[in-house]
Structure 1
Amino acid sequence: MSQHWLSGMIKGKSVEILIGWDEPLKHFFMTIDPDGEPPIYSNLHEDPVVAFSHTLADYDLILKQYGVTGVSLAPGHPDGLHSALMNDQATGKMA
């Protein structure tokens, strides 16, 4: 399972985003964690059919819905996160 830890902001407060590729289950996953608080979003809190079928575009939309700034999953974004995650999926990255 690949893991990418990112720092973002929601209304001036810091949040940590964990996103990656789960090779054994063949799906992307994501959590949004405010500092020192339980996650405000986790794909594991969704219906399994939905939780295990999200695309990176879906997760980018979820970040926007929660008002997260400073993180982008858009293709071609200069931070290269989209490319890194797609590479994780293509290569079956486990760590």
Structure 2
Amino acid sequence: MSRHYFKTTYAGKPIEVLMGFDRPLNGFFMVIDYQEDPEDDDDEGLVYSNLWERNPHPDSLIPYLEKLTALNISVPTEMLLEIEKDGEVKMGNKDVRHAMVDGTYTRTFIG
């Protein structure tokens, strides 16, 4: 499974978008999770999970791109292109953190 992480905000709160390719299920996935505030005991949970969908592991990123657009959440184009490539080669065992800092894209391989 390839996993790509991107931290941003949604509705004024910090979130993390996790997207990737699941090799055993031969499809893509996406989970958007509120980041926990250590001072706040009220965990709001998930913004979105692909498991809520009728087809939770599509063979294209299109449903997830549409969901990101509907939620007004942006992720780096470079991240999306890498995830698509992961699907093409049926990538497994890969973890990458993507970031945008002051308009500059960075990519860190973490495993």
Q: How many residues align?
A: 86
Structure number, greater radius of gyration = 2
RMSD, aligned CA: 1.6
Q: 1 or 2, which has the higher strand percentage?
A: 2
Find runs of 4+ consecutive structure 1 residues off by over 3 angstroms. none
Which residue does 1:25 correspond to in 2?
25
Structure 1 residues without counterparts, runs of 5 or longer: none
For residues 16 and 31 of structure 1, what CA distance do their matches in structure 2 show? 8
Please point out which of 41, 44, 55 is paired with 2:51: 44
Structure 2 residues without counterparts, runs of 5 or longer: 37-43, 94-111
Aligned residues with identical type, % of pairs? 31
Deviation per CA, 1:31-83, whole angstroms, max 9, x where unpaired? 00011241121011222xx21226212211101212324x14xxxx3xx1122
- The two structures have a TM-score, normalised by structure 1, of 0.78
Q: 1 or 2, which has the higher helix percentage?
A: 1
